[in-house]
Amino acid sequence: MATPFIAGVAVAGAALAGRYGIQAWQAFKARPPRPKFKKFYEGGFQPTMTKREAALILGIRESVPAEKVKEAHRRVMVANHPDAGGSHFLASKINEAKDVLLGKTKGSGSAF
């Protein structure tokens, strides 16, 4: 008598597990896509900074207005400021990039 009862419980358990598996799969397929990670520029700094390199450092295009250059400089500098644990070398390169894009220097003005 116990055998049909155990078989019934096993069938019910398998049905519930199958139902849960189908619901989990549908939820997995319906989830929003993950954002792709931004690729970073591979390579070091050039001996003389160009407008292209300056734009890559600040994360903007070469032909943006001065106001956008200043906004991008502030955003990148806040994340890399030496007083907040950032690198002095990167801070000097960020400042140099801003100067190159604003036309204040011809490049290679880094202290390093």
> What tens-digit pLDDT sequence spans the chain (112 residues)?
678 888 999 999 999 999 999 999 999 999 887 766 666 666 778 888 889 999 999 999 988 999 999 999 999 999 888 998 888 999 999 999 999 999 887 545 555 5
Q: Which residues make Cβ contacts (< 8 Å) with residue 15, sequence separation at least 6? A: none
| Residue ranges making up the domain that contains 4 | 1-30
25 and 63 in a single domain? The answer is no
Q: How far apart are CA 103 and CA 49, in angstroms?
A: 12
55 and 97 in a single domain? The answer is yes
Whether 41 is covered by a domain: the verdict is no
Q: How far apart are CA 11 and CA 8, in angstroms?
A: 5
Give the count of domains, the chain: 2
Q: Which of 39, 51, 28 is nearest to 98 (CA)?
A: 51
69 and 98 in a single domain? The answer is yes
pTM over 0.85: no
CB atoms within 10 A of CB 52: 12
89 and 55 in a single domain? The answer is yes
pLDDT value for 16: 95
What is the token pair recorded at 20? 């849960």
pLDDT value for 38: 63
Whether 62 is covered by a domain: the verdict is yes
